[in-house]
């Protein structure tokens, strides 16, 4: 299968090229859909073939060189891919979920004028993301990393005629850029220290070079964490993601839920060998995750906009993944990533269908009663919500999240605060998830349904719903079933988690109690938003300050505005006529002057030219005669 | 001379026979198409014949010539370049009144002269090749004699080239007077065996540099370039910019390697000064220029300055960088002049920047191709120009020529300004309505396909230069 690996990122890239070159006007919509979905679909099929090949034979293509860009002396720049089980899981999610979202988009974007542009961006995004996870060296990964950043910018601002969309796009781009800078500095340090940026070489060289806990790997790991925090919208760089909902719903599903924002998770999981050497940095990964999952969960409780609830829930769930990475539960983080991709894509797509049906109404308090009007969407949304809230036993989300909660108790590297954060987070998740379900689908209908989703929208929803229900069964806890199909995949790629001694017996207690907490949370949501909506209003009225604070995302935007944006703008105003600029303008003026001066020598007079040659000859001969060897 | 010598010289014989065949054809009946076909076919045939040689072919035709991998590679380069020039000439001359046919004879003879230069290892063959090339160029430059600047440019080139040839000859005789040798190997042997080199010898080498410097158009022997570039018909300008300069560079590489000139600090210092002066003067002169042909002339001055950085690095790395730079520069320059030629009309060349205002909206593909050429000249990644420049810088850093590399980087920035300015003009939204009398569209097909092929090569070399690099590696 090695020979076809290069096609996986190349096919979507070709699709993007075709669509960009042909433009909006030259291809009929049907052809655009075929190119757009076909390229990603073909990549998905190839991935599945490789997976089957792997599952039957245990063989996986590890390393292939696509093309050797150039080599000069001992510097060679190959474009090479590395596929192991970790990247395989990511590739599978990107191509498969990506394909479903592409299919959904055919109907969702059907009336949009820039149909081809949309698919071109989506294809470009998929190819960049595949490059990111398949890259053999960190340089190539960085290419994909910036590529997805670019596509995210393009897609958030897809409806660029509206000013606020452009603002959201720029915000996302600039804030992730802060993280990217940290990442770039981290890469420079790695190269300066180890002399290579090939991931596999780094992972073998690092333990030989550094002792566990020494400063260099800790610094590098913290810088990489900075990159991951920016891309994955974690505390303190989480503020761009809720605004990113300005893009079309399929974009939110693909980029801001299923794939791109998990790039940070991938980066840390990929560099696991470094983090093992830097326990302090790894602890910070966990701390970031714990803080993020709590503050994002609280904000999600107070939102009115359906998509913003989902945005905050995404931040919170990625917080869980970071927490898992921080406690050394590597494979649990990847497992939660996969399940999260299924149910969050499902939720965003279903939300998109709801919003489309209600004339682009985003406010949940103006929805309601959709249970009967849109039964298919309701059923799938309910399944997605159950998975997000980790409804015990029957949802996939339960198995992935439960594993993280359990390990946050049992892992050697964890502590009681991580465990508490995880449990409280699970409770909050249950409340806000079902608050959203009840507000949107129960109660009286407040807005009429204008447009019923067609097959191209419902079929992807159904497929994702099946996955959101059953995908969890490939990894069951010790207490019942004890299936480890998923974590077995990583026996060679990711280190196993070390448990504290004698904790196995507590596992069922923790599972039962978190399960009960979830149920209590759902019941509370039901009570407040269906049975006694007045109580919810009362609570809202009495805690109006907290509510506002959480609604505004803990006012991080205002904080950054006050301590960063304003001072910079102030300095920019003060230093408008930058004296350093004088240096450059002087250079420009000097060049112009020289140019005027020199061009007088080009006067077209032959004798002058001959003079030039003679003068040159005199100089040269003098030169050679005086400075003889 | 024996049979295998003859075999090695066949490419030159094919060129000469093509010229003679053209003579016959003209004397029977003037026909642009027939002459064009003979020229193109013989150039293609010659190139195909050339590919039959092994890269490690080595044939000394004592005492004058040596046909080796380096020579074969350069002959191939010259043949292909001449082919491209011929292809772009058809549409250009078809719309003009003058007699078109003799042009091709002169073109072939000029190429022949350049080919002799790149395989010569002796002063006599060097001078013979140079003069065959120059004499053809005198008439080529003044070919469109009804045009105002054409004969002026021709006369200027004639006088200045003759003047510099005198220096060259005098330099050669001084060297002969001291060493008693005229072949490069012999001179090199003399230098290795002599402790104290006589001053006359040094003066001779200095005069040699004057002659070569004139051909290359390095500062301070550069002043003819803009006038000649402007006055000559555009395809001829392309030929001067590429073949005439490239042949001289190849010869210099061979000569300097043979006498091991890199060990003499006075020469490396001298070339350093010439290189830096060329870079700065060329780029700065181009800044405020509004005539595109003159801009390209100034740009070629600075590019020769860059090339000298690679040349000065010496060794196999320097030779490789030089050769690769030549290839990239040839492709780019041919493309740029090719586009000027296609946009020119009956009366004048499209040489003012204003002629290109809004070109993107009138002829999008041409504008994109031209932008690619300009970006390659500026050395932007993904084009051949970037890899070439990167290679030159690597060679320069590898041999610790920090001053040169620094100047190269600074000049790349200055150069960017006037390249980008042209692109900006092309993307200007203000539409200019031009009412040019168009020829039959088929005439343009040849030029357009040529330019498209050049653009493809430009990106191909920029994206995957590996093949070309290993080819160059093999011949050196």
Greatest extent of chain A over all pairs of C-alpha atoms, in Å:
105
In whole angstroms, give the CA distance from residue A610 to residue B221.
9
Q: Which of A589, A596, A603, A624 best tests the B interface by mutation, with the highest count of B CBs <10 A?
A: A624
Please give the full DSSP string across B79-139, using - where no structure is assigned.
HHHHHHHHHHHHHHHHTSSS--HHHHHHHHHHHHHHHHHHHB-BHHHHHHHHHHHHHHHHH
Q: How far apart are CA A200 and CA A196, in angstroms?
A: 10
CA B110, CA B102: separation in Å to the nearest integer? 12
| Cβ neighbours of A67 in B, within 8 Å | 464
* Phi/psi of residue A247, nearest 5 degrees: -75, 170
Q: How far apart are CA A98 and CA A104, in angstroms?
A: 10
Q: Is residue B301 part of a domain?
A: yes
Which phi and psi (to 5°) does residue B26 adopt?
Answer: -65, -40
Asked whether residue A310 is domain-assigned, the answer is yes
Q: Are residues A339 and A393 in the same domain?
A: yes
Read off the pLDDT of each residue in A210-227 and give the average, rounded to a whole number: 90
Considering A136, A152, A187, which residue would you say is the last residue of a domain? A136
A156 HSE (CA, 13 A, CB side): 27
* Residue burial A270-299, b: 16+ Cβ < 10 Å; e: rest: bbbbbbbbbbebbbbbbbbbbbbbbbbbbb
Q: Is residue B415 part of a domain?
A: yes
pLDDT digits (tens, 9 = 90+) for B370-403: 999 999 999 998 899 999 999 899 899 888 889 9
* Contacts of residue A93, Cβ cutoff 8 Å, sequence gap at least 6: A258, A259, A337, A338, A341
3-state secondary structure of B66: strand
Share of chain B above pLDDT 90, in %: 60
From the list B210, B265, B285, the residue facing A629 with the nearest CB is: B265
Mean pLDDT of the region B442-451: 82
Q: How many CA atoms lie within 13 A of A350 on its CB side?
A: 30
Q: What is the pLDDT of residue B439?
A: 59
How far is Cα B349 from Cα B355, in angstroms, rounded to an integer?
10
- Closest CA–CA distance from residue B330 to any residue of chain A (Å): 20
Stretch among A32-36, A193-197, B81-85 having the lowest mean pLDDT: A193-197
Q: How high is the pLDDT of residue B436?
A: 55
Residue B70 lies in a domain: no
Q: How far is A446 from A469, CA to CA, in rounded Å?
A: 30
Question: How many CB atoms are closer than 10 A to CB B44?
Answer: 13
- Is 90 exceeded by the pLDDT of residue A114? no
Q: What are the tens digits of pLDDT across the range A450-469?
A: 777 888 888 888 998 988 88
In chain A, which residue's Cα lies nearest the Cα of B200? A625
Number of domains in chain B: 1
Tokens of B25: 């054809």
A67 touches chain B (CB under 8 A): yes
pLDDT tens figures, A370-413: 888 888 888 899 999 999 988 888 888 888 888 898 888 888 88
Tell the residue number behind the tokens 């960085």, with chain if given: A142
For residue range B105-162, list pLDDT tens digits in order: 999 999 999 999 999 999 999 999 999 999 999 999 999 888 878 888 999 999 999 9
Tell me: do A246 and A303 sit in the same domain: no
List the Cα angle B356/B362/B368 in 5-degree steps: 70
Say if residue B434's pLDDT is above 70: no
CA A622-A626-A627 angle, 5° bins: 115
Let me know if residue A230 belongs to a domain.
yes
DSSP-based three-state secondary structure for A356: helix
| Residues A342, A429 share a domain | yes
Task: Please name the member of B160, B199, B466 whose beta carbon is closest to the beta carbon of A609.
Answer: B160
* Cα atoms found within 13 Å of the Cα of residue A99, Cβ hemisphere only: 20
Q: What is the mean pLDDT of residues B324-334?
A: 94
pLDDT at A11 over 60: yes
CB contact under 8 A, A613 and B469: no
Query: Is residue A67 over pLDDT 80?
Result: no
Contacts of B317 in chain A (CB under 8 A): 73
> What ranges make up the beta strands (E) of A73-129?
75-82
The pair of structure tokens assigned to B52 is 């039959």
The verdict on residue A561 lying in a domain is: no
Q: What is the pLDDT of residue A72?
A: 59
DSSP conformation letters of A145-198? HHHHHHHHHHHHTSSTTSHHHHHHHHHHHHHHHHHHHHHHHHHHHHHHHHS--B
B69-94 vs B441-463: helix crossing angle, rounded to 10: 150
Rounded to an integer, what distance in angstroms lies between the CA atom of residue A385 and that of residue A268?
28
Q: Is the model's pLDDT at A629 over the cut of 70?
A: no
pTM assigned to the model: 0.73
Residue with tokens 């020829």: B439
Residues 6 or more apart in contact with residue A171 via CB below 8 angstroms:
A239, A240, A243
Domain-ending residue, one of A246, A270, A294 = A270
Shared domain check, A532 and A383: yes
Cβ atoms of A468 and A339 within 8 Å: the answer is: yes
The pLDDT score that the predictor gives to residue A76 is: 66
What is the number of other CB atoms lying within 10 angstroms of the CB of residue B202? 24
Residue B176 within any structural domain of the chain: no
Helix (H, G, I), strand (E, B) or coil at A64: strand
The answer on pLDDT for A61 being more than 70 is no
DSSP conformational letter for B161: H
Nearest CA-CA distance, residue B342 and chain A, Å: 25
Three-state secondary-structure class, residue B464? coil
CB contact under 8 A, B203 and A610: no
Residues of B in contact with A73 (CB under 8 A): 317, 394, 398
Domain that holds residue B280: 264-476
Question: Would you state the pLDDT for residue B437?
Answer: 55
Q: What three-state secondary structure class fits B183? A: strand
The rounded distance, in Å, linking the Cα atoms of A531 and B350 is: 81
Q: How many CA atoms lie within 13 A of A295 on its CB side?
A: 19
For the purposes of burial, counting CB atoms within 10 Å of the CB of A423, is it exposed (0-12), middle (13-18) or buried (19 or more)?
middle
> Distance between CA B188 and CA A116 in Å, rounded?
66
Distance CA B110, CA B131 (A): 9
- Let me know if residue B318 belongs to a domain: yes
Query: Which of B214, B285, B465 faces A613 most closely, judged by CB atoms?
Result: B214
* Mean predicted lDDT score pLDDT of chain A: 86
Position B55 in a domain: no
CB distance from A599 to chain B under 8 Å? yes
Please indicate, yes or no, whether residues A11 and A74 belong to a single structural domain of this protein: yes
pLDDT above 60 (res B198): yes
Beta carbons within 8 Å of A185's beta carbon, 6+ residues apart: A223
Q: Are residues A335 and A421 in the same domain?
A: yes
User: Per-residue pLDDT averaged across B333-352, rounded?
Assistant: 86
Same domain, A510 and A385: yes
The neighbouring-strand residues paired with B59 are B67
**DSSP-derived 3-state class of residue B264:** coil
Per CB-CB distance under 8 Å, the chain A contacts of B284 are 591, 594-595, 598
* CA–CA min distance A209, chain B (Å): 29
Distance of residue B59 Cα from the nearest chain A Cα, in angstroms: 30
Chain B: nearest CA to A69, how far in angstroms?
5
Q: Give whole-number Cα distances, A557 to A241, A453, B37, in Å.
A: 12, 36, 72
Spatial separation of the C-alpha atoms in residues A6 and A12, rounded to whole Å: 11
Domain boundary among A490, A515, A542: A542
Mean pLDDT across A91-107: 91
List of chain A residues whose C-beta atoms are within 8 Å of the C-beta of residue B197: 628-629
Neighbours of A57 (CB within 10 A): 9
- Chain B interface includes A619 (CB < 8 A): yes
Considering its fold, how many domains does chain A have in total?
Answer: 4
Q: Which domain holds residue A131?
A: 1-136
Our CA-based measurement puts residue A574 at a distance from the nearest CA of chain B, in whole angstroms, of 29
Does one domain contain both A405 and A532?
Answer: yes
Quote the distance between the C-alpha of residue A514 and its chain's center. 28
CA distance B371 to A66: 28
Q: Which residues of A touch B227 (CB under 8 A)?
A: 602, 604
DSSP string, B371-436: HHHHHHHHT-TTSHHHHHHHHHHHHHHHTT-HHHHHHHHHHHHHHHHHHHHHHHHHT--------P
**Rounded CA gap, A12 and A106, in Å?**
16
Residue of A nearest to B287 (CA): A595
- Tell me what the pLDDT averaged over chain B comes to: 89
In the predicted structure, residue B204 carries a pLDDT above the cut 60:
yes
Residue A165 and residue A128 share a domain: no
Residue of A606, A622, A626 best to disrupt the B interface, most CBs of B under 10 A: A606
Whether residue A446 is found in the same domain as residue A412:
yes
From chain A, pick out residues whose CB is under 8 angstroms from the CB of B203.
621, 624-625
Whether residues A318 and A364 share a domain: the answer is: yes
Q: Could you tell me how far CA A440 lies from the centroid of its own chain?
A: 27
Mean pLDDT confidence for B2-13: 89
Cis previous bond, A236, omega within 30 = yes
Question: Three-state DSSP class for B68?
Answer: strand
Is the CB of A595 less than 8 angstroms away from the CB of B288?
Answer: yes
Does residue A527 sit within a domain?
yes
Tokens of B14: 């094919």
Q: Given a cut of 70, is residue A492 above it in pLDDT?
A: yes
* Residue A152, domain member (yes or no): no
Same domain flag for A210 and A319: no
Which tokens is A565 given? 């944006």
CA dist A303 and A313 (Å) reads 11
CB B98 within 8 A of CB B143: yes
Cα angle at B284 between B280 and B288, to 5 degrees? 170
Contact A326, A413 (CB under 8 A): yes
In a domain, B107, yes or no: no
Asked if A155 and A248 touch (Cβ cutoff 8 Å), the reply is yes
Q: Report yes or no on B278 lying in a domain.
A: yes
- Chain B residues touching A601 at Cβ < 8 A: 223
**Exposed, middle or buried: residue B217 (CB in 10 Å: 0-12, 13-18, 19+)?**
buried
Q: What is the pLDDT of residue B2?
A: 83
**Whether residue A326 has pLDDT greater than 80:** yes
User: Do A87 and A54 touch, CB atoms closer than 8 A?
Assistant: no
What CA–CA distance (Å, rounded) separates A553 from A168?
A: 15
d(CA A436, CA A529): 9
Question: A78 to chain B: which residues are within 8 Å by CB?
Answer: none
Look at B203 and A606 and tell me if their CB atoms are within 8 Å: no
- Residue A327 within any structural domain of the chain: yes
Tell me if A284 is assigned to some domain. yes
Q: Do A613 and B163 touch (CB under 8 A)?
A: yes
């Amino acid at each position: 299968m090695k020979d076809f690996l290069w096609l996986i990122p190349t096919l979507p890239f070709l699709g993007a090229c075709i669509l960009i070159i042909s433009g909006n006007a030259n291809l009929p919509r049907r052809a655009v859909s075929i190119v757009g979905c076909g390229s990603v679909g073909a990549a998905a099929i190839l991935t599945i073939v490789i997976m089957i090949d792997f599952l039957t034979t245990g063989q996986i293509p590890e390393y292939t060189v696509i093309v050797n860009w150039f080599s000069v002396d001992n510097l060679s720049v190959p474009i090479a891919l590395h596929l192991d089980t970790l990247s395989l899981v990511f590739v599978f999610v990107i191509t498969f979920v990506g394909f479903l979202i592409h299919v959904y988009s055919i109907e969702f974007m059907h009336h949009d004028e820039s149909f081809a542009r949309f698919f071109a961006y989506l294809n470009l995004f998929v190819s960049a993301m595949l490059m990111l996870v398949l890259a053999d060296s960190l340089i190539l990964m960085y290419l994909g990393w910036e590529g997805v950043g670019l596509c995210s910018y393009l897609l958030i601002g897809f409806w660029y005629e509206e000013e606020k969309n452009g603002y959201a796009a720029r915000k996302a781009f600039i804030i992730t850029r802060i993280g990217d800078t940290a990442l770039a500095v981290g890469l420079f340090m790695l190269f300066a220290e180890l002399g290579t940026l090939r991931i596999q070489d780094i992972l073998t060289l690092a333990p030989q070079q550094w002792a566990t806990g020494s400063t260099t790997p800790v610094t590098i790991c913290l810088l990489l964490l900075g990159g991951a925090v920016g891309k994955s919208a974690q505390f303190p760089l989480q503020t761009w993601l809720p605004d990113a909902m300005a893009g079309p719903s399929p974009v939110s599903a693909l980029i801001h839920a299923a794939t791109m924002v998990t790039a940070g998770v991938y980066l840390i999981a990929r560099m696991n060998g470094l983090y093992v050497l830097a326990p302090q940095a790894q602890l910070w990964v966990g701390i970031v995750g714990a803080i993020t999952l709590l503050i994002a969960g609280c904000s999600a409780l107070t939102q009115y906009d359906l998509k913003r609830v989902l945005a905050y829930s995404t931040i919170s769930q990625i917080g869980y993944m970071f927490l898992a990475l921080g406690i050394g539960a590597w494979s649990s983080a990847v497992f939660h990533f996969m399940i999260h991709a299924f149910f969050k894509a499902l939720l965003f797509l279903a939300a998109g269908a709801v919003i489309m049906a209600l004339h682009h109404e985003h406010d949940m308090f103006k929805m309601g009663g959709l249970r009967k009007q849109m039964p298919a969407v309701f059923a799938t949304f309910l399944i997605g919500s159950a998975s997000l809230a980790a409804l015990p036993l029957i949802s996939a989300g339960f198995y992935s999240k439960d594993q993280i909660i359990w390990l946050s108790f049992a892992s050697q590297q964890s502590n009681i605060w991580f465990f508490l954060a995880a449990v409280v987070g699970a409770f909050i998740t249950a409340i806000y998830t079902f608050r959203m379900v009840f507000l949107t689908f129960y109660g009286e209908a407040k807005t009429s349904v204008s447009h019923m989703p067609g097959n191209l929208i419902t079929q992807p929803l159904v497929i994702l719903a099946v996955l959101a229900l059953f995908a969890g069964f490939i990894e069951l806890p010790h207490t019942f079933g004890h299936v480890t199909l998923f974590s077995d995949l990583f026996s060679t790629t990711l280190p196993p988690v070390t448990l504290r001694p004698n904790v196995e017996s507590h596992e069922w207690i923790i599972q039962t109690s978190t399960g009960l907490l979830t149920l209590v949370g759902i019941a509370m949501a039901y009570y407040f938003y269906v049975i006694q909506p007045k109580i919810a209003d009362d609570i809202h009225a009495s805690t109006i300050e907290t509510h506002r604070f959480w609604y505004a995302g803990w006012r991080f935007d205002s904080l950054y505005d006050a301590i960063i944006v304003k001072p910079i703008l102030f300095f920019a105003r003060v230093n408008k006529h930058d004296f350093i600029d004088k240096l450059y303008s002087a250079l420009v003026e000097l060049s112009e002057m020289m140019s005027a001066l020199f061009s007088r020598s080009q006067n077209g007079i032959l004798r002058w030219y001959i003079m030039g040659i003679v003068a040159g000859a005199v100089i040269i001969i003098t030169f050679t005669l005086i400075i003889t060897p | 001379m024996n049979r295998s010598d003859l075999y090695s010289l066949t490419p030159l014989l094919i060129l000469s026979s093509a010229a003679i065949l053209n003579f016959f054809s003209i004397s029977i009946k003037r026909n642009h198409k027939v002459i064009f076909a003979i020229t193109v076919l013989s150039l293609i045939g010659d190139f195909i014949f050339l590919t039959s040689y092994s890269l490690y072919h080595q044939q000394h035709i004592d005492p004058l010539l040596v046909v080796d991998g380096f020579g074969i590679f350069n002959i191939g380069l010259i043949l292909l370049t001449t082919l491209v020039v011929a292809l772009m000439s058809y549409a250009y001359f078809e719309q003009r009144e003058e007699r078109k046919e003799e042009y091709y004879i002169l073109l072939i003879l000029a190429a022949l002269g350049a080919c002799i230069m790149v395989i010569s290892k002796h002063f006599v063959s060097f001078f013979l090749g140079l003069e065959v090339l120059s004499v053809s160029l005198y008439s080529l430059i003044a070919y469109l004699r009804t045009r105002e600047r054409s004969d002026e440019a021709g006369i200027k080139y004639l006088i200045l080239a003759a003047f510099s040839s005198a220096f060259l000859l005098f330099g050669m005789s001084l060297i002969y007077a001291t060493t008693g040798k005229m072949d490069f190997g012999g001179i090199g042997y003399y230098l290795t065996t002599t402790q104290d080199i006589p001053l006359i010898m040094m003066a001779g080498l200095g005069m040699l540099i004057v002659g070569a410097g004139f051909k290359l158009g390095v500062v301070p022997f550069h002043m003819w370039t803009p006038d000649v570039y402007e006055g000559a018909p555009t395809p001829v300008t392309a030929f001067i910019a590429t073949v005439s300069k490239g042949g001289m560079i190849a010869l210099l590489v061979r000569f300097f390697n043979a006498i091991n000139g890199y060990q003499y600090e006075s020469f490396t210092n001298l070339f350093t000064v010439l290189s830096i002066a060329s870079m700065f003067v060329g780029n700065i002169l181009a800044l405020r220029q509004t005539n595109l042909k003159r801009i390209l002339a100034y740009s070629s001055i600075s590019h020769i300055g860059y090339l000298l950085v690679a040349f000065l690095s010496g060794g196999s790395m320097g030779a490789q960088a030089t050769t690769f730079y030549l290839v990239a520069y040839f492709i780019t320059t041919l493309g740029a002049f090719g586009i000027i030629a296609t946009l020119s009309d009956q009366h004048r060349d499209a040489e003012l920047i204003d002629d290109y205002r809004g070109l993107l909206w009138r002829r999008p593909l041409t504008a994109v191709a031209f932008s690619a050429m300009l970006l390659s000249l500026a050395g932007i990644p993904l084009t051949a120009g970037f890899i070439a420049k990167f290679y030159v810088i690597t060679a320069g850093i590898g041999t610790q020529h920090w001053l040169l590399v620094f100047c190269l980087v600074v000049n790349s920035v200055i150069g960017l300004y006037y390249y980008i300015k042209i692109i900006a003009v092309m993307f200007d939204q203000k539409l200019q309505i031009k009412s040019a009398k168009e020829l039959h569209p088929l005439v343009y097909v040849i030029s357009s396909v040529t330019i498209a092929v050049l653009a493809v090569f430009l990106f191909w070399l920029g994206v995957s230069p590996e093949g070309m690099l290993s080819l160059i590696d093999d011949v050196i």
